[in-house]
Chain A
Amino acid sequence: MGTVTRAHLAETIYAQVGLSRNESAELLETVLERMSATLESGESVKISGFGTFSVRQKGRRIGRNPKTGQEVPILPRRVLVFRPSHVLKSRANGLTPEAGDDGHGGDE
């Protein structure tokens, strides 16, 4: 099964919107960069019908090197979490979005 890359997405923008290939690739990059910068600032990115990317603060804890069993402190850090919308969950299960009536009407 294939892997979709930047090149594929840029090609789809090119085909759908009719901009040059170059500009399509640049705009894709701009979108990813705007999303990254927002997340870097700690703010969430909510894409209706797709999902929400948010930043979660993790506290300090004691971890263990699984190989040696040695205790290592894991410092407080911020991690990115993605929560797929019910529309995306349904599509991943081969259902049309309408068929995914799981009661979570969270998307506009």
Chain B
Amino acid sequence: MTKSELIAELATANPHLRGADVELIVATIFDEISEALARGERVELRGFGAFTVKRRDARTGRNPRTGESVAVDEKAVPFFKAGKELRERVNLGGARRPAAERVTG
């Protein structure tokens, strides 16, 4: 599923909303999460998961093609950890009935 498919599904489920508003809602959610991470803050959505920024120390890396040493600066990496509920759903989604047979809701 892509962002545009997500927007299309949301628009179909909410015919009273204008298409532009549905787009804005989806954009707002991901922008807001990105901005929080840019400020170094954590975003916690219970049941879904948490977005955090992890610091990686400076290190000496290697160009895998030439074997040459290169200095890699300290950097921040966005990280997502699935919440308990989502983690269990993803894991059981494969083991049990096919997803199509299940009633979501």
* Residues of A participating in the B interface, judged by any CB pair closer than 8 Å: 1-6, 8-9, 12-13, 16-17, 19, 24, 27-28, 30-51, 53, 55, 57, 77-80, 82, 84, 87-89, 91-94
Whether B78 lies near A51 (C-beta < 8 A) is: yes
**Given A31-B26, A40-B93, A92-B53, is A45 in contact with B1 using a C-beta cutoff of 8 Å?**
yes
Whether A55 lies near B29 (C-beta < 8 A) is: no
* Residues of B participating in the A interface, judged by any CB pair closer than 8 Å: 1-3, 6, 9-10, 13-14, 17, 21, 24-26, 28-30, 32-49, 53, 75-80, 82, 86-87, 89-95, 99-100, 104
Whether A9 lies near B3 (C-beta < 8 A) is: no
Whether A12 lies near B32 (C-beta < 8 A) is: yes
Nearest residue (CB) in A for B88 is: A40
The winner among A33, A37, A80 for most chain B CB atoms within 10 A is A80
Q: Please report the C-alpha to C-alpha distance between residue A42 and residue B97 in the assembled complex, in whole angstroms.
A: 12
A24 proximity list for chain B (CB < 8 A): 25
A57 proximity list for chain B (CB < 8 A): 94
**Given A34-B9, A35-B6, A45-B6, is A84 in contact with B78 using a C-beta cutoff of 8 Å?**
yes
Whether A32 lies near B42 (C-beta < 8 A) is: no
Nearest residue (CB) in B for A28 is: B29
With A48-B3, A80-B87 already in contact, 19 other A-B pairs whose C-beta atoms are closer than 8 Å? A3-B43, A4-B36, A4-B41, A4-B42, A4-B44, A31-B29, A34-B10, A37-B99, A37-B104, A40-B89, A42-B94, A43-B1, A45-B2, A46-B1, A53-B80, A78-B93, A78-B94, A82-B78, A93-B75
